Amino acid sequence: MAMLRLDMSMSLDGYVAGPNPSMEHPLGEGGEQLHQWAFAVAAWRERHGLSGGDRNPDSEVVDESVRDLGATIMGRSMFSGGHGSWASDPNANGWWGDDPPFHHPVFVLTHHARAPLPMQGGTTFTFVTDGPLAALEQARAAAGDKDVAIGGGANLVQQYLAAGLLDELQIHHVPVLLGGGTPLFANLDPGKVRFERGRVAESPTGVVHVKYRVLK
Amino acid sequence: MAMLRLDMSMSLDGYVAGPNPSMEHPLGEGGEQLHQWAFAVAAWRERHGLSGGDRNPDSEVVDESVRDLGATIMGRSMFSGGHGSWASDPNANGWWGDDPPFHHPVFVLTHHARAPLPMQGGTTFTFVTDGPLAALEQARAAAGDKDVAIGGGANLVQQYLAAGLLDELQIHHVPVLLGGGTPLFANLDPGKVRFERGRVAESPTGVVHVKYRVLK
């Protein structure tokens, strides 16, 4: 059975974005440190149309993660970049460029109805106005027998987690502190969200990639 | 050179104790889940005068951690148990019993001057009223060429970390959520506290034991 999955880089103090996001720091202050491991690997660069990059355990983790993915769900601010001056323009084309790195259907939760937006390289953004469950249904249909990923942000993750719909998380534990920002785990009842730890992969870059199955 | 070290079990949402600590829940609601892995292992049980227990990667981690330890520093509430009715009695003997599990000198930071308290099994509690630096000096002298551990709580850890005195942390990442409580990393300037990840040990119990060297 295809899974609903999440891949998320998290600081040692539990944040997935730093404090005070702005045009200058779209991932919050210090937030870019969470993603440096991914920027460097071949598998990530390839999906973003870049050549080169490291082939190491980090790269294998990215390969493994994207291999069986057939669709992605994301929140409105992850589509638009959230903090750009054009973020308030409901017709802006997001911050993912002409050839977004997904290469599969992406479902964007929003309050603004809008026609689907086909991009280069196999990505089509479809805008869903009737909530997370509807987005999941559409994403599953589009993904066929492949998995669906939640792209973020944290609030959307929490909604799927609280609803018991998430099957597996992979947290990329990055050994930095952000001191504030967006916590991955908030607004959850800890008695109702339980995990079983799965595969652990460590990397020379310092990141520890850990899978957690959500117990139902 | 002997190190100042910390071993701490932390939830996936970054807490080292749960919310609302009480007589019934001295580690906060759900907090005991952080320590179940340790309670089960032979190396921990032995130090606590108990027989049996598992011999597994968790046990090796405990063995490794205590092998080179010569002294421990702890805060007043960790000595007294914090939330017992006798916690307000400055002459109480703490909650560690007659034969505490340390088996080496322990330095307790407190505002109440008090004569040293020798216990069975090699533990002596020495009460230090002139601050964390003085406690560290006394602990280093007592430990000789062995390491000094910070026993806790989180506030004391943060003081040593902020002062650049901590050399190594080992975090036992436990795959549970507590939803609130005492965060390990707070009151710190993220730009001034930087880590280099070291050894990763995974366990069948679900815990991931990760060492982090503090960069100076």
B176 CB neighbours in chain A (<8 A) are 190, 194-195
The residue-averaged pLDDT of B127-139 equals 97
Listed as ranges, residues in chain A with pLDDT below 50 are 84-86
Using CB atoms, which residue from A171, A178, A190 is nearest to B178? A190
Best of B9, B10, B12, B37 to mutate (most A CBs within 10 Å, chain A): B12
| Other Cβ atoms closer than 10 A to A88 | 8
Q: Which residues pair with A11 in a beta bridge?
A: A174
- Chain A CB within 8 Å of residue B212 CB: yes
In chain B, the residue whose alpha carbon lies closest to the alpha carbon of A185 is: B13
Q: What would the pLDDT profile of A95-134 be if each residue is shown by its tens digit? A: 788 899 999 999 999 998 999 999 999 999 999 999 999 9
Do B194 and A208 lie within an 8 Å CB cutoff? Answer: no
Res A46: pLDDT: 84
Which residue among B178, B185, B210 places its CB closest to the CB of A13?
A: B185
How confident is the model at residue B212, as a pLDDT?
A: 98
Tell me the per-residue pLDDT of B13-50, one tens digit each, with 9 for 90 and over: 999 999 999 888 889 999 999 999 998 888 788 888 88
Cβ of residue B30 closer than 8 Å to a chain A Cβ: yes
Q: Which CATH number fits domain B4-17+28-40+68-193: 3.40.430.10, 3.30.420.40, 1.10.3210.10, 3.30.930.10?
A: 3.40.430.10
Mean of the per-residue pLDDT values for chain B?
92
- Say if the Cβ atoms of B194 and A176 lie within 8 Å: yes
Dist. CA B162–CA B165, nearest whole Å: 8
pLDDT value at B6 more than 80: yes
Architecture of the domain defined by A4-85+96-215: 3-Layer(aba) Sandwich (3.40)
For B204, the closest chain A residue by CA position comes to: A197
B49-107 per-position pLDDT tens digit: 888 888 889 999 999 999 999 999 999 988 887 654 445 566 667 778 889 999 999 99
Q: What is the pLDDT of residue A55?
A: 85
Which of A184, A191, A197 is nearest residue B208 as measured by Cβ atoms?
A197
Residue B49: per-residue pLDDT: 85
Per-residue pLDDT, B86: 46
Per-residue model confidence (pLDDT) at position B160: 97
pLDDT of residue A54: 84
Interchain CB distance below 8 Å, A177 and B185: yes
Phi, psi of B94 (to 5 degrees): 80, -175
Q: Tell me the C-alpha distance between B34 and B180, whole Å.
A: 13
Q: What dihedral do alpha carbons B172, B178, B179, B185 form, nearest 10°?
A: -30
Q: What is the ipTM of this complex?
A: 0.92
Average pLDDT of span B196-211: 96
Residue of A nearest to B184 (CA): A13
What pLDDT is attached to residue A82?
61
| Beta strand B117-118 pairing with B124-128 | antiparallel
Q: Which of residues 172-201 of A touch B (CB under 8 A)?
A: 173, 175-179, 183-186, 188-191, 193-197, 200
What number of other Cβ atoms are within 10 A of residue A2's Cβ? 17
State the average pLDDT over residues B112-133. 95
> What is residue B54's DSSP assignment?
B
Q: Is A204 on the interface with B (CB under 8 A)?
A: no
CB proximity A61 to B under 8 Å? no
The closest alpha carbon to A135, from A117, A111, A101, belongs to: A111
Residue of chain B nearest A200, judged by CA positions: B202
Interface contact flag, B208 A212, Cβ < 8 Å = no
Average pLDDT over residues B103-127: 95
Phi/psi of residue B115, nearest 5 degrees: -70, 150
- Give me the pLDDT at residue B10, please: 98
Domain limits of chain A? 4-85+96-215
Nearest to A34 by CA among A52, A3, A54, A13: A13
How far does the CA of residue A181 sit from the closest CA of chain B (Å)?
12
Using the beta-carbon criterion (under 8 Å), do A190 and B179 form an inter-chain contact?
A: yes
Substitution target from A177, A187, A200, A208 for chain B, most B beta carbons within 10 A: A177
Q: Indicate yes or no: CB of B12 within 8 angstroms of CB of A195.
A: yes
Question: Phi and psi dihedrals of A65, rounded to 5?
Answer: -70, -40
pLDDT at B82: 61
Q: What is the pLDDT of residues A40-60, one digit of tens each?
A: 888 788 888 888 888 889 999
Residues of A in contact with B30 (CB under 8 A): 190-191
Q: Which burial class, exposed, middle or buried, applies to A60 when counting CB atoms under 10 A from its CB (0-12, 13-18, 19+)?
A: middle
Residue in B183, B189, B206 nearest the CB of A196: B206
Please tell me the predicted confidence (pLDDT) of residue A47: 82
Q: State the residue for tokens 């010569």.
A: B70
